[in-house]
Chains A and B, each alone.
Chain A
Amino acid sequence: MQTKVTQLFPETALERVLEALERELLEATDAEILEAARDLGMKPEMKGSAAFLGLRYPSGPRREEFFDPQWMLRVLNDPRRISLAGRSLPPGAEGPRAPSARRARTRPAGRRPRPPKEPTES
């Protein structure tokens, strides 16, 4: 008996999974939504809650609103930028010196050290 071989494309699998998960979310009760929001530290019942970001008021500006995505890809994939970032330092060259962890504290000007207290006779 021959086994039926079916090829499953990842797009088809993704569409099916998304559709099934969408059904799950449609069935979610209000209590479940509130519980999930509280898990994230959100209070949807309050005015100006972060849960409504992008719904009642706009979320922050996205970089795609200012830059063309194709242009950004070209810039990020520019081989010159990659080679510059990956270039190792020549032998013998030292990087910037890190400041020493313990430095001597300089006393602020104008302040003199106090004379030691003399023992009082009592």
Chain B
Amino acid sequence: MPIENIFAAVSAGSRELRITHRMQPLADARVLRPTQVALALKLVTEMDLLRLKTIARLHARGLPPDMGWEDLLQEALTRVLTGARRIPEQIAPVAFIAGVMRSLRSEHWRRAGKASKRYAASDYRARGTRELALKDTAPDPERSLIAIEELKAIERLFADDPIVLGIIDALGEGLSAGQIRAAQGLSQTDYDSARKRMRRCLLREGLTCRPK
């Protein structure tokens, strides 16, 4: 209906005003997700995406519920695709994207820590006293509690495998592979087969559709 006719119909109080022509949605104007763009640009393969999903689910552990593994992965890919983070030539894209996710996680905790300190400082100013509080180097108790719970959740994944549990404890203490083998009394074969079991369990946990 031409626009003049619409005005005429409205001013005449016509009740038979009907929309006779609808605009068809543009089929090509699809918004792609960063993962789809990365696939289309051949930055990663489908298997790489699955690998990144398992890593994203791992790094999303302990983060608040409004920051899921999908957000972490899509944000990391967006930063790479927009050029905010450039992949060095000698590093594989998957390893680099995993590193970006790790730094996003650290960034989140840094921001959360700064916010709590800002609130504490504003309290002092409100009371009109001098800021004499010593800088506390110990981590936030809430974050400590979350970390303990997440460590327990990881240990529960390997509850029926004491060798893997021992390896995870040692990894938490920062021991190297050689030190772990020596401390646990494991041969190279035992150590490698335990790592394989650990990888398989982690992959199963990472590929599941359950929420984190």
Q: Do A and B come from one complex?
A: yes
List the interface of chain A (C-beta within 8 A of B): 8-11, 13-14, 16-22, 24-28, 30, 32-37, 39-40, 42, 44, 50-56, 58-59, 62, 64, 69
Q: Which of B62-102 contact A (CB under 8 A)?
A: 62, 64-66, 68-70, 73, 94-95, 98, 102
Cross-chain contact A36 with B200 (CB below 8 angstroms): yes
Q: Let me know if B104 is at the binding interface, CB within 8 A.
A: no
User: Which residue of chain B lies nearest to A8 when distances are taken between CB atoms in the complex?
Assistant: B173
As a 0/1 sequence over residues 174 to 195 of chain B, the CB contacts with chain A under 8 angstroms (1 = contact) are: 1000000000000000000001
B→A interface (CB under 8 Å): 33, 35-36, 39, 46-47, 49-51, 53-55, 58-59, 61-62, 64-66, 68-70, 73, 94-95, 98, 102, 138-139, 143-144, 147-148, 150-151, 154, 168, 171-174, 195, 198-200, 202-204, 206-209, 211
B interface, over-half SS: helix
Contact residues of A: prevailing secondary structure:
helix
Q: Supply 20 A–B pairs (Cβ within 8 Å), ascending by A.
A: A14-B61, A14-B147, A16-B173, A17-B171, A19-B102, A21-B154, A25-B54, A25-B98, A25-B203, A26-B55, A26-B98, A32-B203, A33-B50, A36-B203, A40-B204, A44-B47, A51-B53, A52-B49, A55-B33, A56-B36
A-chain residues with CB within 8 Å of residue B73 when the two chains form the complex: 55
What residues of chain A lie closer than 8 Å to B198, measured between beta carbons? 21, 24
Tell whether A9 pairs with B203 under 8 Å between CB atoms, given A17-B151, A18-B61: no
A36 to B143, alpha carbons, bound, how many Å? 32
The answer to whether B70 touches A59 (Cβ under 8 A) is yes
Contact of B49 with A59 in the complex, beta carbons under 8 Å: no
